[in-house]
Structure 1
Amino acid sequence: MKYKGIICAMITPFDENQNINPQATCELIDYLIDKGVYGLFILGTNGECHVLTDDEKVEFAKIVINHTNNRVPVFVGTGGNSTREVITLSKRMEEIGASALSIITPYFVTPTQQELILHYKSIADSVNLPIMMYNMPGKTGINIEPDSVRELSKIKNIVGIKDSSGRLDNMKAYIEATEGEDFSVFSGSDSLILDSLKAGGKGAVAATANFLTEIDIAIYENFMNGDLEKAQEAQNSIEELRRILKLGTIPSVIKKTVVLNGINVGTARLPVTEPTGESLEEIKQVVENYREMLNKHS
């Protein structure tokens, strides 16, 4: 399967006791697929993978995979620090029908590039699923270097990378390094969706797509149709949401926008708390402005 387009970095809905909420999860999946997302990317940073147990991850992935029912691909996050544990969790996700895996680099310690290559090769050898690597140096302390990506892209089931470095030059280096391979580079930085497409990227794994689904999709589809002006307009219009995301700890603000948009996905798990006071008022205002804008266009 060729992976492309806007893939939503989906949040994990919780109930009032901060347990997984199957009903809200199914509502959100239907909303995103109805709006036209090209895939779902679960158990990433915005999916709060760092506060879920492996059993909870499998439980959540089962709900998503079953309800999505092959309408779009489901990329499941199984990354971690221990190669052995990543392999164990990846095999469990393969058994329950994941379309592909998303695997962030180890974090907390910083492996060498050779150790990183060994990590990904070992995982790729242990499962049959396609693997999308996930680069997020700001949070993990390590960048997958273009030469490492070049080597890993030659492995049959390593099919792409989500780059959340926020650096266009890094993404361009990945695109150049993997030229001629069956490999997709995705922007993990929502501010760079259009720039990455212009550079030869295949799309984006976007957290803003939980709320501004049709705007993110408009960036991609207008670009593909050759309407750069409309694509740029759509890209510019997500900046206000990106600005307010800084008013809380990930993913508290994006969850609040989805709640205000009508799907009760709950709050983030502790220690992250929901926005209050002036921040909350500002979020409400921005959501209202977006809803008015989208109603005008619909």
Structure 2
Amino acid sequence: MDLQGLLFFPVTPFANDGSVDVDLLARHVADGVAAGAASVFAACGTGEFHALTVAEVIEVGTVAVEAAAGRVPVLVGTGGSVAAAIETARGLGRAGAEGLLLLPPYLILASERGLVDYVSQIAASSPIPVIVYQRSGMIFSPDVVVELAKLPNVIGLKDGVGDLTRMQATVSAVRAAGFDSFMFFNGLPTAEVSMRAYRAVGVPLYSSAVFAFAPDIALAFYRAFAADDDETLEWLLREFFIPFTRIRDRQLGYHVSLVKAAASVDGRPLGPVRAPLTAPLAADLDDLRNLLATARTALEERSLVAGDATGAHA
């Protein structure tokens, strides 16, 4: 599976009765694909995987597959207990998803050997490939990532830790072991801010939460990134992405709830977040609305018109 391009992590819309709003979700995914996403990662961190039941994750994945309509690959989150993760994987395989993002197990801390067993059991029982999300309680040493890369169904590692020394050692170890097609992703919040540093250590892919509510801005960054246009990257970081992180960091949970609310700022309401997340404060949304307006005006002045982002990285 080739996932070169801008990776779209949609939010999961909820209806007034608390259920998944499948119509809104279908439009959200279809709009993202039409805007130029190279792949869809549904029901993952931005999609509130932590708050979904197994049945809901499969439902979200099924809707995303149908909305993408074969235009781009669709991968879906899984995790929790081994049994729940396998049940989810099998349901998503039947739905036509092309891969999984395996999130860390919640609450429990385990040894590295136990975590390898966790990944191994899920990957062995999954009908579709697995990308491992390294963060929180699931962090691996470079040699162990090589061990994971040897598993037939594990195709990549997404990093949400941010330790570039570890990532450089990991990428070097995996490549030295001959796994040239094993994929590495930057999975930090607002990954655009750290993406040049990640690419320097051999991590060329990143997830874009900003794409979920401002695809024009996310695509402008991606095109500059793919073209090694450092001047434009610096300008975009200064004018939008770094100010956005300052708003995002005002409250815990804003890396999801602010993204979801931001879609409403653009006139595309996608419903509330589920507990324990909380809605952003009105003042923070006002600041984000102003930031978006200012950034878009500047984009127009610089003629940074959004284009497609399905091609390979430079």
* Same fold at TM > 0.5: yes
Q: Is the 8 A contact 2:184 2:203 kept in 1?
A: yes
For the aligned residues, what is the CA RMSD?
2.0
Is 1:201 matched with 2:200? no
1:25 aligns with 2:25: yes
Of 168, 175, 178, the match for 1:172? 168
Superposed displacement of residue 235, structure 1: 4.2
1:288 aligns with 2:293: yes
Percent identical residues? 27
Pick from 146, 158, 162 the counterpart of residue 162 of structure 1.
Answer: 158
Counterpart contact for 1:44–1:77, Cα < 8 Å: yes
TM-score by length of 1: 0.90
Structure 1 residues 32, 279: CA separation in 2 closer, same or farther (over 3 Å shift)? same
CA positional deviation for 1:295: 4.0
Q: Which amino acid aligns with 1:55?
A: A
- Amino acid corresponding to residue 223 of structure 1 in structure 2: F
Change (3 A) 1:221 1:197: farther
Residue equivalent to 1:89:
88
Question: What is the rounded CA distance, in whole Å, between the counterparts of 1:232 and 1:281 in structure 2?
Answer: 25
Alignment match of 1:210 (pick from 206, 209, 212): 212
SS at match of 2:6: strand
Counterpart residue identity of residue 60, structure 1: V
Contact 1:11/1:48 (8 A) holds in 2: yes
Shift in Å, 1:254: 0.8
Is 1:224 matched with 2:226? yes
Question: Structure 1, unaligned stretches of length 5 or more?
Answer: none
Q: Deviations over 1:115-142 (max 9, x none)?
A: 11111111221123111100122xxx34
Matches within 5 A, 1:241-256: 241-248=244-251, 249-250=253-254, 251-256=256-261
Alpha-carbon contact 1:164-1:188 (below 8 Å) kept:
yes
Does structure 2 conserve the Cα–Cα contact (< 8 Å) formed by 1:186 and 1:205?
yes
- 1:219 & 1:169 partners in 2: Cα distance? 25
Structure 2 gap segments, 5+ residues each: 306-314
Query: What SS does structure 2 have at the residue aligned with 1:176?
Result: helix
The aligned residue for residue 147 of structure 1 is 143
Alpha-carbon distance between aligned partners in 1 of 2:298 and 2:223, rounded to the nearest angstrom? 19
> How many residues in Structure 1 have an aligned counterpart in Structure 2?
294
* AA matched with 1:208: V
User: Which position in structure 2 is the counterpart of 1:110?
Assistant: 109
Q: Cα offset for 1:232? A: 4.0
Residue 20 to residue 123, structure 1, CA distance change in 2 (3 Å): same
| Whole-angstrom distance in 1 between the partners of 2:243 and 2:145 | 33
